[in-house]
């Protein structure tokens, strides 16, 4: 079974990528700070697309009480998210530090749009940590419970 990231989250990530690309084109210290941020964010976004966000595609079905054996395949993703969550959170800390530098450089250069972008991206990271990652992990726990499967020990 293929698990799809909800369209709203996909659209939000695409918009963030686009705004970051635009910031890299600002030139000077702002552009350099944006490029540093992009180098940090790319591998993190790949992980999110691979295993952190696709389980959220099951939320609506699970909230309706739907469950089927094919959903068990999501456990590979949610178990991986649980195992890699400390690293994902550490990546967020590095990204937020880079965002702080980008925000400061953009403020000095008068790029209010990039300042707003940096602040919005910090909020996005906080939302992932407080809502999206825990919700994805809960998807796995609910699927496991409803299918009567035992939890596996994380390596």
pLDDT of residue 149: 79
Instruction: Say if residue 77's pLDDT is above 90.
Output: yes
Confidence of residue 2 (pLDDT cuts 50, 70, 90): confident
The 8-class DSSP code of residue 148 comes to: T
Place 155 in a pLDDT band, splitting at 50, 70 and 90: very low
Residue 16's nearest CA partner among 124, 98, 94, 115 is: 124
**Is residue 26 helix, strand or coil?**
coil
Band of residue 1 on the pLDDT scale cut at 50, 70, 90: confident
Give pTM, 2 decimals: 0.91
Q: Rounded to the nearest 5 degrees, what angle is found at the Cα of 130, between the Cα atoms of 52 and 98?
A: 80
Residue 152 banded pLDDT, cuts 50, 70, 90: low
Q: How many beta carbons lie within 10 A of that of residue 3, not counting itself? A: 19
């Amino acid at each position: 079974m293929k698990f799809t990231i909800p369209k709203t989250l996909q659209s939000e990530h695409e918009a963030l990528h686009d705004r970051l690309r635009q910031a890299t084109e600002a030139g000077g210290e702002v552009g350099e700070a944006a490029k540093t941020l992009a180098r940090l964010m790319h591998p993190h976004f790949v992980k999110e697309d691979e295993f952190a966000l696709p389980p959220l595609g099951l939320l609506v079905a699970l909230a309706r009480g739907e469950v089927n054996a094919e959903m068990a395949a999501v456990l590979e993703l949610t178990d991986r998210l649980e195992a890699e969550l400390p690293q994902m959170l550490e990546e967020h800390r590095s990204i937020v530090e880079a965002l702080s530098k980008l925000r400061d450089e953009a403020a000095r250069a008068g790029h209010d749009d990039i300042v707003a972008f940096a602040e919005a991206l910090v909020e996005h990271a906080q939302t992932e940590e407080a809502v999206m990652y825990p919700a994805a992990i809960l998807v796995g726990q609910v699927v496991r419970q409803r299918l009567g499967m035992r939890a596996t020990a994380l390596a």
